[in-house]
Each structure stands twice: as structure tokens, then as C-alpha cells.
Amino acid sequence: MNLEENSYQQDSKQWQDKCNRLLYYHVVLTLKDGNTVDGIIGRVDDDQVIVLVGENVIEDESRFGRPLGGGGGRFRRFGPRGFPFASIAALSLLAYPFFFPPYPYYYPYPYYPY
């Protein structure tokens, strides 16, 4: 019994340390029930992690008149949600594509005609 409690505390401590290292990063959480959640880690408590989970929202075009013929808006709204360390199976950074930086400018840019 004592060995099981010690193992749980070590696992919880490992998850807590990993979440503290990734605080304020956009991560992907995989839960033990198979669900995946992407969000931003906002706070780490002793027994759970608070994640700002994104929700896709599509703005209704008929409700707001769009000037200049703009279409309906689509954006993400983030709300806090708690996940206990016992329910987390994996935690990883969300991979963003990285393209080479646009600087330094290559010849003939900038072009000065004078």
C-alpha cells in the first residue's frame, strides 16, 4: 500500500515538473481515456493542471453587418479547464511549422531607383 502511494506521488511530481517547464506554452494533452486536448497551460497546482482549452467559434453573418463585403468571422475562444495529473497519459508541445526567416534581404531587395 505504501509503495503504491509513493509511486503515485512520484508520477504526480514528474507531471507537475513537466507542466511547470511548459507553463504558458501551447501543448497537446493526451488523456488516459484516449481524448486529446490542445491548449495553453495557465497554472499548475499540487494535484491538477489548469489548461486554457480552445473552442472554435464561427460568427453569424446575419447578426452583424459587415462593411465592404467581409464574410463571417472565425476565431478561437479559450476557456480554463482543470485536468488531474492522474488522468494525463502524455504531454507534448504543439508543433508549429517553422519557415526560414525573411531576413536578411537578398539582392536586389531593397531596390533604390536613384
Strands (E) across 7-60 are located at 26-31, 36-44, 48-58
Contact status, residue 27 vs residue 93, Cβ threshold 8 Å: yes
- Contact by Cβ (8 Å): 26, 35: no
Which pTM does this prediction carry? 0.69
The H or E element that residue 78 is part of is strand 74-84
Model pLDDT for residues 83-112, shown as the tens digit of each residue: 999 999 999 998 776 666 556 655 665 666
Q: pLDDT of 26-38, one tens digit each?
A: 999 999 999 999 9
Q: How far apart are CA 57 and CA 35, in angstroms?
A: 21
CA gap 89, 14 in Å, rounded: 12
What pLDDT sits at residue 12? 85
